[in-house]
Amino acid sequence: MTVEAGRPRGVALYSDVIRERWRRPRYRGELPEANVVAEDVNPLCGDRVRLMLRVEDGHVRAARFLGDSCAICTAAADVLAELLEGRARAAALALDAQALLERLQAEIRPSRLGCVTLPLAVLRRALGAEGPVGGPAARR
């Protein structure tokens, strides 16, 4: 029999931050004063994330998201919205998957990295940036 190393039994599937942000997202909801809105889907799973931003003087003043998405994607969108508020456009676009993973205190297996990068792709679309999302997930 082949025995492979796996996650130790009894350890939760996702990090505490992911579970907390998925169960009780802080930045999920409408943003009526939004002046920048973008949306995208993950073609692999059909997950959809909509990002609403209030951008003034080149800074993100407020951010909210809505989406049909898994726990990882929901938590990633939630911490992204949090990280965005108060950031200048360039600093917002500098956020990458690594930044979200640090905030989520999670290691994500390759097959689920797209769940982390979807909100980042929506952000790039919202801010009219060219090119792919940066960070480790960009290799996939």
Partner 1 sequence: MTPLDEQTRPDFPILERVVNGRPLAYLDSAASSQKPRVVIEAMARYYERTHANVHRSIHTLGEEATELYEAARDRVQRFIGAPRREEVIFTRGTTDGINLLADALGHTLRPGDEILVTEMEHHSNLVPWQMAARLAGAVLRAVPVTDEGSLDLAALDRLLSERTRVVAVTHVSNVLGTVNPVAEICRRARRVGAVTVVDGAQAAPHLPLDMSALNCDFYVFSGHKVLGPTGIGVLWGRREALERLEPTRGGGEMIREVWIDRADWNDLPWRFEPGTPPIAEAVGLMAAVEYLDKLGMDRVRAHTQRLAREAAEALAALPGVTVYGPREGRGALVSFAVAGVHPHDVAAFLDQEGIAVRAGHHCAQPLMRRLGVVGTTRASFSVFNSSDEVARLVAAVAALRSAL
- Per CB under 8 A, residues contacting partner 1 are 1-4, 6-7, 9, 12-14, 19, 44-48, 68-72, 74, 112, 115
**Of residues 1 and 57, the one with the C-beta less far from partner 1:** 1
* Pairwise CA distance, residues 124 & 129, whole Å: 5
**Of residues 12 and 57, the one with the C-beta less far from partner 1:** 12
Shortest separation between residue 33's beta carbon and partner 1, angstroms: 28
What count of other Cβ atoms lies within 10 Å of the Cβ of residue 11?
Answer: 7
* Pairwise CA distance, residues 85 & 3, whole Å: 46
Shortest separation between residue 78's beta carbon and partner 1, angstroms: 14
* Pairwise CA distance, residues 8 & 52, whole Å: 39
**Of residues 9 and 139, the one with the C-beta less far from partner 1:** 9
* Pairwise CA distance, residues 92 & 89, whole Å: 5
Shortest separation between residue 14's beta carbon and partner 1, angstroms: 7
